[in-house]
Amino acid sequence: MTRIGIHDIAMATTKYRLDLPLLAEAQGIDPEKYRIGIGQDAMSFPAADEDVVTLAAAAAQPIIERHGVEGIRTVLLATETGIDQSKAAAVYVHALLGLPHSARAVELKQACYSGTAALQMAAGLIARDPRQRVLVIATDVAKYDLDSSGESTQGAAAVAMLVSADPAIAVLEGPSGVHTNDVMDFWRPNYRVTPLVDGKYSVRAYLRAAEGAWLDYRALGGAAFEDFAAHCYHSPFTKMTAKAHKHLIGVSGGQATPAEAEAALADTAVYNRAIGNSYTASLYLGLLSLLDQRDDLAGELVGMLSYGSGAVAEFFALRVVEGYREHLRTERTRAQITRREPLDVAHYRELHELRQPSDGGDHAVPVDTAGPFRLAEYSGHQRVYRSR
């Protein structure tokens, strides 16, 4: 059987960050509510000329530079903050990266889950033709209403993965357990810029879906919970991952305190604590954080729990490949996070309230991003992207 999985992985985030103690001060609340209560320290926030397309292209660029474009027949871009009701954001990324015309480009949506759908679809394409490689990109900008309960969980990032046969980083192994249930815990109608969310209900929906996906995985012959060296979870905020981990331990017949569950996931939480919720990208930021922080996972099994409100969940396993550390970009990743420029609350609020012009006129976007690609202008109801 052909071994299929993640051959390369890279991330990108925004120029700016907002430190949550500043937000707490502006809201008149205790900063510990964010640092301890939800397990977050800061959020990435985009400059005016950054969006899901520029982040996606920036995340994928180092992969293209390392491996070239030969054999890439498909680009699957997962996002829940798309920029057009018809044209896939993947098509813009395809052009910015200079990919061949003989590569399909598609956008996938199901809240925070669709990055995993893209990974599984990529595996299916490669199983049919192992000569092909698929570029999978999860990219999102999480934005909530100002002064809402979700404001502190905002964030923005993209993770790109090159999926191939005989991968250098991790192999998809065994069955996938899935769970779908029609619930209204989080959604964004077409007429809204920001989502609607029932926070407490969403936590319960997440836990139920995680349990359903895990039980389905086990029913299909998946590995026992104790066989995993580590677990990664979708992270709307890092305390949620600890809740999910504790819950699955209990479902599997074990016990763990909240502190023990949190400690078990510490290596996966480093990047998400600093970046905030990046929706489709957050699970894979957790994986990247784990690979960068943990000394050696070669040969080990990693459990992956993907969740998207509405709701779809999937549990699957990755087997880490010997020599994987030689292919990581640990210092580059850490530098991207630490070099973000701090925002004050006034500047953050100004960026938060920016909207795309709707008059169809010509509107240049000031150069601000430090990334390799930017949203340069709006013209004739079109978004125009350029390399810097």
The closest of 246, 248, 160, 145 to 196, measured between CA atoms, is: 145
Chain CA centroid to CA 286, Å: 8
Residue 119 burial (10 A CB sphere; 0-12, 13-18, 19+): buried
DSSP 261-297: HHHHTHHHHHHHHHH---GGGHHHHHHHHHHHHSS--
Residue 30 annotated as binding?
yes
Residue 277 annotated as binding?
yes
**321 — alpha (psi -120 to 50), left (phi > 0) or beta?**
beta
- Which residues are marked as active site? 80, 112, 234
Measured CA distances, 87 to 17, 108, 266 (Å): 29, 12, 39
Task: Give the helix/strand (H/E) hosting 239.
Answer: helix 238-251
**216 — alpha (psi -120 to 50), left (phi > 0) or beta?**
alpha
How far, in Å, CA of 84 to CA of 352, rounded? 19
Residue appearing with tokens 């956008």: 107
Non-local (6+) Cβ contacts of 189 within 8 A are 196
Residue 200 annotated as binding?
no
Residues contributing to the annotated binding site for (3S)-3-hydroxy-3-methylglutaryl-CoA: 30, 144, 243, 277
Annotated binding site: 30, 144, 243, 277
